[in-house]
Structure 1
Amino acid sequence: MTKNKKWWKVSVPVLLVGNVVLILMLLGSARPEEPKDASKREVRFEAVEIPEKASFAGESLPLDRFYVKEALDRELLSNAYFHSQTIRLIKLAPRYFPIIEPILKEEGIHDDFKYLAVAESGFNPRAISPASAAGFWQFMKGTASDYGLEVNSEVDERYHIEKATRAACDYLKDAYEKFGSWTLVAASYNRGMTGVQRQMDIQRQDDYYDLLITTETARYVYRIMALKLILENPEKYNFYVADKDKYPVIPTKQVEITGSVANFADYAKEQGLSYKVFKDFNPWLRENTLTYSGKKRYWVEIPQL
């Protein structure tokens, strides 16, 4: 009996240790060998390359200033590693850029301002901010009315991409007449002309890159620049999206509404569409009805599916 007790006291720990050692050996043999050269690993997270030169709307960024370079680096990192959202933007660009690019060109606005629209709404025509700015270009209601957009319970042209783009162009031209700098124009789109001018006066400073301003506006132009750099050259930032995976332009025809509409669900069916698809292509129609006075002509987009 005494011998059995001693054997038990000695053998159980030995067996347990032996089993643990065996399991660890098996796990070790099953684990793939780590590559000695870190560059051969499949996944690496690296710093984003900052270009030596960059410009917005033809105006050079002063990247020789360390704080400008680091501010751009911050926004490039934020967007280059926000994979799901950035891939989505790359996919959507071929659908929406062909709509706004010709309008910018016709209105004499630099093509780079299309990236401002991306920064504002992320290619979401229905976007609305906590402050109630709405649409592709994120107009506040008062500003929208000032620039000729109709905003009421039935119609809100802030959600009309073409009309809102033209209104945005009018704002940008007014701001450029005031500031004489497209970079300050972009900043004012976020902060407002009055807000930017106030800080310029207080600080006796007319250079956006040396202007102390709210965090959102201070990051705003850099965010636009980061989106420009990535969307212009996605592969450079490790985004590989095949053409077949990008969203194409959906061909549409314009149909004029010649009278009041009692029910857009019925109207959509007459056009061979579901109510959902009709509203997706005409988000500026806010209700199921439209009161037609004859004073203004309305055209709806009918997708050719």
Structure 2
Amino acid sequence: MIKEASVILLLSAAKTIALATPKEINSREFTSHSNGTVSIRLPGTSTIQSLQPVQFCGEYVPLKQSTVTRRWVTVLLQQSKHRDYLLRLRKRAVKFFPVIEPILAKYNIPRDFKYLPLVESDLSGNSTSPKGAGGYWQLMPQTARDYGLTVSAGNDERRDLYKSTVAACRYLNELYDELGSWTLVAAAYNSGATHVQKRINQQGIRSYYNLRLHRETSKYLYRVLAYKELLTRPRIYSDMLQPAVLADLTRPLPGERFQPDVMPFVGTTSEPGLEPEPTWGPRSRNFLEETLAQIVGESEDGNPSSDAASTSMTASPSQTPMAMAGLMGLQVLRFRRSRLYQVFLAAKRKIQPLFDWDWV
């Protein structure tokens, strides 16, 4: 009986190990498309997930590299399993991001770095690591002192969100001056600039995604990106998420300034690291110009009709009174229907909305 029990335990342990490191992790099917997306078969299922382009501070994740895609999907699946934890982080982000974002902007730090404290401390000021790093940004005591913070038994300013964010921004800028890449800065924030620079010198590679780093550091940026994607674009990962998790990530929260997925990310922006986040906003200018052209009577060949001097959005009222009247009307139509619905919900729940009217 004892021998049989031992065999059963060994088989059970082997099964557990097999589940922890399934073979599918290294044998997914990848299909790269010309538009930058990548299709993959999720492990253990017949579901195909289309991965949209992902970027950190303006630098795209090279999803066409199978190693990178495997690591990205693995981390994304791991992070998306924790429903209560993700909802708790989202509620903290609603409270703390409005404090963090202006400080990042003041010090010219890309706003993607606001997701670092989610990985570092779960956005908790009382968090302390076994090595002594503490506060929202998990600064080491000496690093915190170097950037002007007081760290003592009775007064630890690493637990002050504003002061610790300022110190972290100064530290991030110094790392960027040394490494010249925001992805490498994120890696250096986790493992130290010395480690990252040493690996760069040894391998002759300056791409975070191709550098061989410590195991924790090699997954660090993927974890940051996972929180960024799950909190801002959860619906595009619907095949990976449980329905309850997706419902939690897309349900409007009191005080939240944007609703995830209302304005999906497309294309690039003029400034690195400033991709548009999901937010309530106007329809595209093309739509407005097309509608305005219909109001002022634009001809089929794209030229103004004889009774309209110009269809320019910036034309003066004296030149095109009809166009300006139409534009004033379009200011009323500028909201998406979904936003009007949120205004209705806010009024019904007696929540003071955080958005105001703005002009097209």
TM-score w.r.t. length of structure 1:
0.63
Q: Among the aligned pairs, what percent are the same residue?
A: 39
Aligned equivalents of 2:167, 2:196: Cα separation in 1: 20
Give the aligned partner of residue 163 of structure 1. Answer: 163
- Inter-CA distance 46–235: structure 2 relative to 1 (3 Å threshold): farther
Amino acid at match of 2:155: V
| Residue aligning to 1:60 | 60
Letter in 1 for 2:149: L
Give the direction of change, closer, same or farther, for the CA distance of 1:77–1:146 in structure 2 (3 Å limit): same
Partner of 1:240: 247
Using the alignment, how far apart are the partners of 1:90 and 1:176 within structure 2? Answer: 28
CA distance in structure 2 between the partners assigned to 1:48 and 1:132 by the alignment: 43
The residue type equivalent to 2:217 in the other structure is T
Residue in 1 that maps onto 2:176:
176
Q: Does 2:75 match 1:78? A: no
Cα distance 1:209–1:91, how it changes in 2: closer, same or farther (>3 A)? same
Q: Return 5+ residue gaps in structure 2 as ranges.
A: 1-43, 258-360
- Residue of structure 2 in register with 1:281 after alignment: none
Structure 2 counterpart of 1:168, one-letter code: A
Higher CA-based Rg: 1
Match of 2:3 in 1: none
Tell me the number of residue pairs that the alignment of Structure 1 and Structure 2 aligns: 205
Matches of 1:46 and 1:171 in 2, distance apart?
Answer: 46
1:10 match: none
Distance of 2:155 and 2:50 partners within structure 1:
44
- Going from structure 1 to structure 2, the CA distance change for 1:78 and 1:172 (only over 3 Å counts) comes to same
Letter in 1 for 2:252: D
Please name the residue that 1:145 is paired with. Answer: 145
TM-aligned CA deviation for residue 85 of structure 1: 0.9
Relative distance call for 1:91 and 1:240 in structure 2 (3 A) is farther
- How does 1:1-305 map onto structure 2 within 5 Å? 49=49, 51-236=51-236, 237=241, 238-241=245-248, 242-244=251-253
Unmatched 5+ residue regions in structure 1? 1-43, 250-305
Amino acid at match of 2:117: A
Does the 8 Å contact 1:187/1:196 carry over to 2? yes
Distance in 1 separating the partners of 2:247 and 2:50: 19
Question: What do residues 120-150 of structure 1 show as CA deviations (whole Å, max 9, x unaligned)?
Answer: 1111111111111100000010111111111
Secondary structure, in 3 states, of the residue corresponding to 2:209? helix
Deviation at 1:155, TM superposition (A): 1.0
Q: Which AA in structure 1 matches 2:162?
A: E
| Structure 1 residues 175 and 216, CA gap change in structure 2 (3 angstroms) | same
User: How far, CA to CA, are the matches of 2:69 and 2:123 in structure 1?
Assistant: 27
Equivalent residues of 1:48, 1:73 under 8 A apart? no
CA distance in 1, matches of 2:187, 2:212: 12
Structure 1 residue 189: Cα displacement: 0.3
Q: CA deviation at 1:248?
A: 7.4
Q: Which amino acid aligns with 1:216?
A: E
Deviation at 1:233, TM superposition (A): 2.1
What SS is found at the alignment partner of 1:240? helix
Determine which structure has greater relative contact order: mean sequence separation of CA pairs < 8 Å that are 6+ residues apart, divided by chain length: 1
One-letter amino acid matched to 2:166: R
Structure 2 length-normalised TM: 0.54
Q: Partner letter of residue 201 of structure 1?
A: N
Q: Which amino acid in the other structure matches residue 127 of structure 1?
A: S
Report the counterpart of residue 303 of structure 1 in structure 2. none
